[in-house]
Amino acid sequence: MLEVTDLHAYYGKSHILHGVHMNVQPGEIVSLLGRNGAGRSTTIKAIMGQVAMTGSVRFRGKELAGLKTFAIARCGLGYVPENRDIFPSLTVRQNLLLGVKSRRPNGRWTSEDMFNLFPVLRERADAPAGVMSGGEQQMLTLCRTLMGDPELIMIDEPTEGLAPKIVGLVARLFGEIKNRGVSILLVEQKLTIALKISQRLYVMGHGQIVFEGTPEQLRTDESVRKEWLEV
């Protein structure tokens, strides 16, 4: 479904990614792990056309390299950034409706689905999104992206700063996303969550992929965990 080949990315003269190769298959949850600064967020931004890059990014057979971000999104990719880009003056309900793509009116997800998954969004439905807590805003950003009915959703650090109870809800949502046939590429700091929900994992170090395998393979590979994940 998603094929990334020899991906290099740059911030000005800084060369961040050095030949990244990775893929995500239909209906699969894949986690991208690594320490801060390893290049995980840059990888997703490069796929979405938000940073200068070279190499190939193919989605469902179509080359995305060189396309604008809005055109990439219209191909069926969803992106949930780490910085919780909500519209603070609009209500929660309005934020959700902004995620709907008019060309796909009969998608997998409705506002009612979002309210059922996260009851706090129903409670705040007609309140300005800006008054919500950081964790609630993170839920709203994730749900708004789903409202666009992506075939694959890329999520950057969704559990960062969330209360343990909310982390559990988010993990449950990932299972529901997968059950509805949507693939997930997840950038996650919490190794326990990634090992629990992923079918495959990649580990990044210094802008390159240094490990690819199953959760069980990573559990048993102490050298990789010590060198590239543990602080």
pLDDT at 225: 92
E strand intervals along the chain: 2-11, 14-24, 29-33, 52-59, 62-63, 77-80, 152-156, 183-187, 200-205, 208-213
* Amino acid 192: pLDDT: 86
Higher pLDDT: 169 or 9? It is 9
Classify residue 184: in a domain, yes or no: yes
104 found inside a domain: no
169 within a domain of the structure (yes/no): yes
pLDDT at residue 136 greater than cutoff 90: no
Q: Given this model, what pLDDT does residue 165 score?
A: 76
CB neighbours of residue 160 within 10 Å: 16
The whole-number average pLDDT for the span 133-149 is 88
Contact assessment for residue 158 and residue 188, using Cβ atoms and an 8 Å cutoff: yes
Which is higher by pLDDT, 162 or 23? 23
pLDDT digits (tens, 9 = 90+) for 180-230: 889 999 998 888 889 999 999 999 999 999 999 999 999 999 999 999 998
Percent of the chain predicted with pLDDT > 70: 97
> Residue 167 domain-assigned?
yes
Mean pLDDT, range 26-54, rounded to an integer: 95
Query: 110: how many CB neighbours lie within 10 A of its CB?
Result: 14
Q: What is the CA radius of gyration of the chain?
A: 17
* 117 assigned to some structural domain: no
Partners of 155 in the beta sheet?
80, 186
Structural domain includes residue 179: yes
CATH code for position 183: 3.40.50.300
- Within a domain: residue 100? no
Strands 152-156 and 77-80: parallel
- Within a domain: residue 111? no
The count of domains in the chain is: 1
Task: Flag whether pLDDT at 162 surpasses 70.
Answer: yes
User: Which domain range does residue 28 map to?
Assistant: 2-84+149-228
Out of 38-52, 141-155, 161-175, pick the least confident.
Answer: 161-175
The per-residue pLDDT for 102 is: 61
CA distance 223 to 59: 33
What pLDDT digit, counting tens, does each position of 84-120 carry?
788 999 999 999 999 887 655 567 889 999 998 888 8
67 SS3 class: coil
